[in-house]
Amino acid sequence: MRVVRLTEETREDFLEYCRKHRHEVDDSYLYEDQLKDLKVDEEENPTYLLIEEDRIAGAVSLYRSEYLLKGNRARFRMFHSTIPTLKAYKLLWEKIKGHGEDLDKVFTFIDEKNTSVRKIMEGLGFDIERISYLLERQAKDVPQMDIPSGYRLEDIVFDRDEEIWCEVRNAAFSHLAGAETPITAGRVKEMKNHEGHLDGGMKILFRNDVPSAILNVEKEWDEGEWKTFIGLLAVKPDQQGKGIGRLLLREGLRFGKKAGMEKAMISVNGENDKAVKLYTREGFEKKVVMVCYKYDMK
């Protein structure tokens, strides 16, 4: 086995490897729109291929986006081998490790049930940082809940409301593990280009003209069908405990049903007890448990 750096000549082979194996890993950065825009760039996307008998038998790619670097961290876009041994993964890790030496940590998510790869990651020195749940709601009615007096719900207007979106999101998630780094208006603007973006799916709730909460409803292809995906639901701290989260969740579910999607999914940090309780009470159940593994670079 040998490890080689990704080149323009091997880029398409790497993308095909990602497409073939993305169902086996956390595919957060392996959607088709993200793959087609992937550049051979050692600064943002350092990538290496594991070669066995002149074929790709593994790949490691570290995503060093501007947002992640603001938090002094990077996330694996892909870390996978068809040779599920510590030796194979170690060869890849030793090559990519140097691209994270300027950071505090690098991290990835692994399905709780994938015990073989979890054992390999622990053998490489990675530690568990947190747990994340992917919840799913089966097709069922969504209870009606009217918007209270003094509140109004509006669709985001791009090139005008990005800073408002950031204000709410950053205030709501400032202490949430993995989301502490503030987002920027530029990142919000890019959301309309996501593969799962739905026109009218990004909404802002105002209370007496003051932004109080935000909602992002997307679509997700899963198990042969499109499903509603609640990509973001954030309520400012001073507005929490007033039923706004439930209000927006139901609004998102109704929006998805109107778009023809009966089932819905949402991802939530395991330590976010209030959110987990809200979603389960609204009919969501655990579909997948993902374990976040981190490696402290310092």
Collapse the DSSP code of 57 into the 3-class scheme (helix H, G, I; strand E, B; otherwise coil) and give the result.
strand
% of the chain residues with pLDDT over 90: 92
Average pLDDT of 268-290? 95
Please give the mean pLDDT across all residues of the chain. 95
Give the per-residue pLDDT at 48.
98
List of domains in the chain: 2-125 (3.40.630.30), 137-292 (3.40.630.30)
Give the per-residue pLDDT at 20.
97
Phi-psi region of 77 (alpha: psi -120 to 50; beta: other; left: phi over 0): alpha
Please, are residues 181 and 71 in contact by the beta-carbon 8 Å criterion?
yes
The side-by-side arrangement of strands in the sheet containing 197-207 is 2-5, 47-52, 55-63, 73-81, 105-111, 284-296, 127-137, 264-269, 225-235, 210-222, 197-207, 151-155
pLDDT tens digits, 17-32: 999 999 999 999 998 9
Give the per-residue pLDDT at 278.
95
Integer Cα distance of 6 and 45 in angstroms: 10
81 closest CA partner among 46, 43, 121: 121
Give the per-residue pLDDT at 175.
87
pLDDT tens digits, 206-215: 999 999 999 9
Cα-based torsion angle of the residue sequence 129, 190, 197, 42 in order, rounded to the nearest 10 degrees: -60
Q: 92 CB contacts (<8 Å, ≥6 apart)?
A: 3, 48, 50, 58, 59, 60, 79, 81
Query: Above 90 in pLDDT, residue 88?
Result: yes
Integer Cα distance of 86 and 84 in angstroms: 7
Query: Above 90 in pLDDT, residue 295?
Result: yes
271 closest CA partner among 163, 129, 160: 129
Give the per-residue pLDDT at 177.
85
100 closest CA partner among 126, 80, 137: 126
Query: Above 90 in pLDDT, residue 298?
Result: no
Query: Above 90 in pLDDT, residue 132?
Result: yes
